Each structure stands twice: as C-alpha cells, then as structure tokens.
Chain A
C-alpha cells in the first residue's frame, strides 16, 4: 500500500512539475510561406518540450507597427517577435531585446552565415536568430534571352541588363524586358532603388549625416532606372511591388526580374508559374565600382526584454532556427521548401546543392556586406536601409517622391531635390546634423 502511495505521489509531483514548466508562448510573425510552414510544424516543438504556441500572424507592415508599439511600451503581449535586420541592431542597442549569446552548444551558432550573424548583432552580441535570410538576384527567362541573341553572364553589369531588357521587350506579345519594384514604401521600391544606388556609387548620407541626393551618383541611378523602365518595363511600374512583379513573371510577362532570392522557389514552382522550367538565375548587376546592387535581409526571431518566459522562448528559437528544423522540413516537404539563407551547412548539404537556385542564393547573400555597402564611406549599417530609427519614416517619404517621378508626375531632378530637402530637414530635427 505504501509503495502504491509513493508511486502515485511521485507521479503527481512529476505531472505537476511538467505542468509548471510547460509554458504557452505567444509569437508574432509575418505571413509568408516559410513562416506558415513553421506554424504547421509547431506540434513537433510541443511534443519535444511540452510548451504550446499561440501565433499572431500579421502582414509585414502591420506586424512592424504592432511589435514596435509593444516593445517601446514594454507591453509584454509577445514572448517572441519576428523582426528584420533593420530593427535588430536598433532595438539591441536600446536594450529592448534579450541577448542570444548563451544558446546551447548543440545549436551551433557558428554555423549561421556570417553576413546574417553580423546584421542581427549589435556590438558583437547576437540579438535575433535568423529563421531565413535573403538577398536579391536576377531571375530571367532563358528562352527569351536566347531569342534575343544574348547570353546572361553569371555576374552581369547594368549596361548589359539594360541592353537585354530592351532586346527582350515585345510589346505586341505583352512581354516586358524587365520588371522592377517602383512602389512607394521603404521596404518596397525604396529597398530596390537604395540597393541599386549602391552599385552606382551613391549613398544616403555622407559621414556627417548630410543627405546625398544632390550628387551625380543619385541622378545617374534614377535616370538610368527611369529610362530603362520606360523602354522595357511594364506599364504602371510605379505601383508595382514584389507581388505585382511575381504575378507578371509567373504569367510569362517579364524577361527579367530582379528581386528577393526567396522568389526563386515561387517562379520555379510548376503549380503556380507558367514559366517554371525556363528560369535562369544570375547575380544582381553592378556598375564596375566594386559594389553589386543586391540587398541583404533576414526574418529573425527575437525575445523582448522583460518577458517572463525567456527560457521557453529560447527553446523555441533553438528549435525553429536549428539544423534539425531544416531536416524536419526537408523530410516532410522536400529540400526546395527548407528556409534558406541562414546556415552555412545548408549550402554544403549535397541534397540542397541540387536545388537550381541554391548556389546563386548563397553567392548573393555572401556578396552583400551591411557594414560596407557603399562605394564611398558611409556612417550607417545596412545595404538597402540605414539602421537608424528615423530611416523608415524618411525613406518612405523619399520613395513616394521617387514613385511620383516614375509615374511621370514630376521630373527626376524635382524628386531628388525634394528628397534632399526633406531628408536634411528630418535629420536636422532628429539632431544628427
């Protein structure tokens, strides 16, 4: 009888302790394919740890506003937040995020791609673990390129791209030589033109935080873009973002598309794309100045400082951004669907090497350096953004001026003059100048 009591008592204590240790985590995330896949696989995490997960999935801009409000007010609505390379160093510097330098040895933090680790750290401390990373690259129609009598180099120049775009354009067949983002928004057209401007020798600020839109480099960038898009871009490109161009490309209406490397899995998916078997890949173009026009971005998982569930949150981050998670996805949905761009070992994996866009994705990521993104020295970190709190607001306004120029509502010179004035005003008000 005593034995039975002891066993029952021990079981009860064991059950109780399990219940106490098991946490319910609330995670804010974006709605994209890789994140949705992670949500579906959450049961694996719960089975392994006992912790449950509640997801708050939001559109990217809504998410950014939502998590920013919460972290700046110490609201505590979320235990884990999905944030990007722009927010991480700023929030890390402000002490709003929990350091991730103490993740377990099994996690192998040294396996994270150096560019990603650097972009998600502040002063050498890792504040967010990359779930997936991306750069940008050229996706092009091999058949149309051949028809135009051209051959795409693996690392082309902007002059080649402009020439190929014009040669591939066939207005009668509704084929546009090139599709690029023109939509206003710092993360939409703003990101593209900033990355492009880097390769033209332009920069947002000089070392004293003076705006640089009055320079020849910016004028060259914007004029080149507008001329090329007028000749070979789709009608109404000033309002096209990622989704609009993806739709055009999948329907065979773009000869080339320069955009996020994650798009490669969409355009090569025969279920959605009519040109899935005709797509080739190349590095984003350069202008012979030593800097290419590709960007660098990561969606990463971070823990807001002050959460009561830090230990469980770290367990989740280790699970979601580990090599074993990659193996889990590969086993269930194939290697083409694993989250790319975060870990070096993925690109050494023979199974992944067979994926047609894997090599170019890695090369694109490796060729982007957030600490040296411009030809002339600049005071900021970031390739398609400057990692300062004021950037999002300023860049949104600047990209609106640029989009107005793309739409023909003002000249390039007028757009640049307005961008120069508003940027200097904002930077002065913020105390940088």
Chain B
C-alpha cells in the first residue's frame, strides 16, 4: 500500500515537474516555431502551433541582412573573457573571505552584493564618459571589463559559498606540509572546488551572454554582440515577429546547447550547500 502511494506521488510529482518545465520552456519553443513561419502566419489568430508551411526564409533573410558570425564571435569573446577575468580575481578574494575572515568580511560581502541593487542606467553617463576618455567605447576589451565588474559580486559570492564547504583542516594540513599560499590555492583548494568553480563559470557565461543593457549602450558596429543582433530586429512600427524569432533562435542557440550539455554541473553547483 505504502509503495502504491509512493508511486502515485512520484507520478504526480513527475507530471507537475514536466508541466512547470514546459511552461518555462514554452516561450523558447514558441520563438523557435515562429522562426519557421511567414510573417502573416506568425500573427495569425487563432495562433497556428505546428501545422503550417515551414519555411527557412527568415533565417536566410537574417543571415543576408546581418553578420551573425561577427556578433557570435563578439559574444563568445566578451562572455568567456569577462568570466575568466572575473574568476581569476574572485578566487583569491573568496579564499581570503572564506578562510581568513575578518570582522568586516560579512559587511564587505553584503556591500559587494549591494552594488547589484543600483539600476544600471543610474551610472550609464559616468561609465560612458570613462569609456570615451579611455578610448574603449565600442571595444571588446571595454565590454569584457564592464561585464566582469558587473558579475564580480556574484562570482565572489558563489565561490565564497563553495569554499566555505571545504574543511579548513585540509588546508591547514597542506600548510603543515610546507605548501605556500600559491600552492595551497592552486593545488589544494582549486581541485577540490572544481565543481563549484565550473558551475560559477557556466552561470556567469550565461549571465554575460544575455546581458543586454551595457552591451547595447556601449557598442556600435565593431563590438556589438548577439544581444545587439536581436535588438536590430525589434520594431515598434512593423510586424517582423518571424524574423525577430529567427534572430532570437540564432542568438540563444549556442548558450542553450552549452547549458544542455552542462546541466548536471549547473544544477550541482547551484544546489551546492543548499541541503546539509
């Protein structure tokens, strides 16, 4: 009897999980389907779900009009570059906060996180002027640095959480064995924190890939990533939903595929330390 209840519950949980999953995924599925419709079918009422004349016309037109690969390469450089730079800075910061905390560590952590509470537009003009002065407007270096700075509090927080889970005794043992600080971080701490670092990297690549305020406001033609590519298909005067959907699908496909293959690490990293 007890087994039957468990099975029933399992089935219900599975159905609920699938329903929620589909609900969350539905906008992406709809975007994907719309990208294969004509503009007229895209706005049809009632909406057409699967049974329509599928066409690749939107993809052809998007590729003809825009240089997808230029935007793609820019996205890769900016997202990966800002994440690596951020992790390199965050590992020592998180190490010191986790293993050599001071009276102010918690305050510093909260202060770092509080910078995320400021609306980005509030500092647009100062940042824009700094970029002009430094000559890095519309440059990949400029965007890499700004995205690294924006995501740094999250990277530090995540790494700090993972490092806190590592027993101090292991690091102490390595010190007793004569390990230097560099050796301790590189050869003892980092290998043990690899899952956490990996999920931090993955999550931050996703955040940097999707960032659409600074990437639109600090770029023009040279450093524009895929967010700018999508924005160029949005129009308040004209129905270009099918083309917009094709551009969106092309822009999110790489990150979706990456997320799909690394979902185990992502889930593990995001739930790390959640249950003790």
Contact = CB atoms under 8 A, between A and B. Distances in A.
A31 B138 contact: no
Contacts of A262: 237
Contact of A39 (B65, B217, B222, B224): B65
B174 interface: no
A77 B235 contact: no
Nearest to A188: B236
B216 A40 contact: no
A61 B121 CA distance: 14
A54 interface: yes
A55 B128 CA distance: 21
Interface string B213-246: 0001100111010001001111111111000000
Contacts of B232: 31, 56-59
B274 interface: no
B62 to A, nearest CB: 11
B136 to A, nearest CB: 11
B124 interface: yes
Candidate in B43, B231, B238 with the most chain A CB atoms within 10 angstroms: B238
Contacts of B228: 56, 58
Given A59-B234, A272-B39, A247 B239 contact: yes
B237 A242 contact: yes
B129 interface: yes
B124 A69 contact: yes
Interface in A228-269: 241-243, 246-247, 250-251, 253, 260, 262-263, 266
A255 to B, nearest CB: 16
A31 B61 CA distance: 14
A77 B217 contact: no
Contact of A251 (B39, B43, B65): B43
B217 to A, nearest CB: 6
A75 B125 contact: no
A93 interface: no
A57 B231 CA distance: 8
A320 interface: no
Contacts of A32: 235, 237-238
Contact of A250 (B43, B231, B234): B43
Interface string A45-69: 0000000001111111110011001
Interface string B22-43: 0000000000000000111001
B231 A77 contact: no
A241 B236 contact: yes
Interface residues of A, number: 45
A55 B221 contact: yes
Given A73-B132, A262-B237, A62 B231 contact: yes
Contact of A56 (B129, B131, B132, B220): B220
A65 B240 CA distance: 22
Contacts of B129: 73
A247 B238 CA distance: 9
A359 B40 CA distance: 27
A56 B236 contact: no
Given A58-B232, A271-B40, A77 B138 contact: yes
Contact of B237 (A26, A74, A78, A260): A260
A75 B43 contact: no
A28 B238 contact: no
A412 B233 CA distance: 36
Nearest to B238: A32
B45 interface: yes
A69 B125 contact: yes
A241 B236 CA distance: 8
A54 B216 contact: no
B220 A77 contact: yes
B124 A266 contact: no
Contacts of A253: 45
B5 interface: no
A59 B239 contact: no
A379 interface: no
B4 interface: no
B137 to A, nearest CB: 6
Given A36-B65, A77-B220, A31 B128 contact: no
B134 interface: no
Given A247-B43, A251-B45, A271-B40, A69 B128 contact: yes
B44 interface: yes
Contacts of B125: 69, 72-73
Q: Top 10 A-B pairs ranked by shortest CB distance?
A: A54-B221, A57-B232, A59-B234, A77-B220, A31-B235, A247-B43, A26-B221, A272-B40, A56-B220, A60-B236
21 contacts: A30-B235, A31-B232, A39-B65, A56-B220, A57-B231, A58-B216, A58-B228, A59-B231, A59-B234, A60-B237, A74-B132, A75-B132, A76-B137, A77-B138, A241-B236, A242-B236, A247-B43, A250-B239, A251-B43, A262-B237, A266-B239
Given A77-B220, A242-B236, A250-B239, 13 more contacts: A28-B220, A31-B233, A31-B234, A31-B240, A32-B235, A32-B237, A58-B231, A59-B235, A61-B236, A73-B132, A77-B138, A241-B236, A250-B43
